[in-house]
Amino acid sequence: MLVPLRGVLEEIGADISWNEATQTVKATMGERDIQLTLGNTMALVNGQRVGLRMPAMRIGGSTMVPLRFIGEALGASVDWDESRQQVSILTNRADGKGRTPVVRNREQERAQNPNRIMMRINGRDEPFAGARPFMRGEDIMVPLEQMSRVARFSYRYDAAQNTLTVPEKKITNAVGSRWIEKNGQRIRLESPTEVRGGAVFVPLELIELASDQTATWNPETRTIVMASLRP
């Protein structure tokens, strides 16, 4: 599970610094310190190299870090309750500066913000960071940058020409148009692509056309459900 760097680490009492030149995050709590570099599967914990299952990465303009590794490396206990969709983080007073446990509960967050859109990928929650999806009528518009990472496809956006391409699937689109071309065939989208706040947004159906993933919108739970078509 990836979490926003500042949102969670500051809650548990960690001091955070960011080096833009090296794309490196440093977090310190008590006598513990860790360093992670975006895209690197090796981290430093008190100067010792440690392997990561998943590297820190930039999603929608926010730095996302692996929760369990970060928490435990800083001396916190991290627990996941699948039935309640809840993460609990418990720090000790020596390292946690006397803070109470931090709890993130999916249902509580939805109750506090009923219009919030969630996403699940193969049964796991994926937070939206930075650019967030929104509704256009009955259609769901999603941030292309984050969704391309989730669905594992590459794209190119030419701001000067206002065009969007997905080379692997031979998809082209004039941003602002409902029409795309895929392998020379014209396909009409339910909603046009658009740029909002500097981010490219596309209708959810385009994610399926551009990837090997299914993308389903559940209006009752306001959740985007992603699943791989590959075994």
For residue 11, the Cα-to-chain-centroid distance in whole angstroms is 19
Neighbours of 201 (CB within 10 A): 25
Select the more confidently predicted residue: 192 or 89: 192
Q: Tell me how far apart the terminal alpha carbons of the chain are, to the nearest angstrom.
A: 22
138-to-88, 189, 219 alpha-carbon distances in Å: 35, 13, 9
Structure tokens at 30: 């008590």
* Alpha-helical segments (H) within 43-166: 67-73, 93-96, 106-112, 144-151
Same fold, 2-108 and 115-228: yes
Q: Pick the most confident of 47-61, 98-112, 115-129, 137-151.
A: 137-151
Query: What band does 93 get if pLDDT is binned at 50, 70 and 90?
Result: very low
**Per-residue confidence (pLDDT) for residue 6, from 0 to 100:** 63
Name residues whose C-beta falls within 8 Å of residue 208's C-beta, 6 or more positions apart in sequence: 214, 215
Domain spans in the chain, listed from the N-terminal domain onward = 2-108, 115-228
The 10s digit of each residue's pLDDT in 50-76 is 888 778 887 755 677 777 777 777 777
Report the distance separating Cα 19 and Cα 37, nearest Å: 9
* H helix and E strand count, the chain: 6, 24
Q: What is the DSSP letter of 99?
A: P
* Alpha-helical segments (H) within the chain: 5-9, 67-73, 93-96, 106-112, 144-151, 204-210
Report the distance separating Cα 54 and Cα 166, nearest Å: 25
Q: What is the mean pLDDT of residues 90-104?
A: 50
Could you tell me which residues are beta bridge partners of residue 48?
45
Strands 102-105 and 86-90: antiparallel
Select the more confidently predicted residue: 126 or 110: 126
Structure tokens at 190: 């339910």
The 10s digit of each residue's pLDDT in 74-88 is 777 777 777 776 777
Q: Is the pTM of this model over 0.75?
A: no
Decide yes or no: CATH 3.40.50.300 for domain 115-228.
no
Among 178, 159, 155, 181, residue whose Cα is nearest residue 168: 155
Position 225 pLDDT exceeds 80:
yes
| SS3 label, residue 208 | helix
Assigned architecture for domain 2-108? 2-Layer Sandwich (3.30)
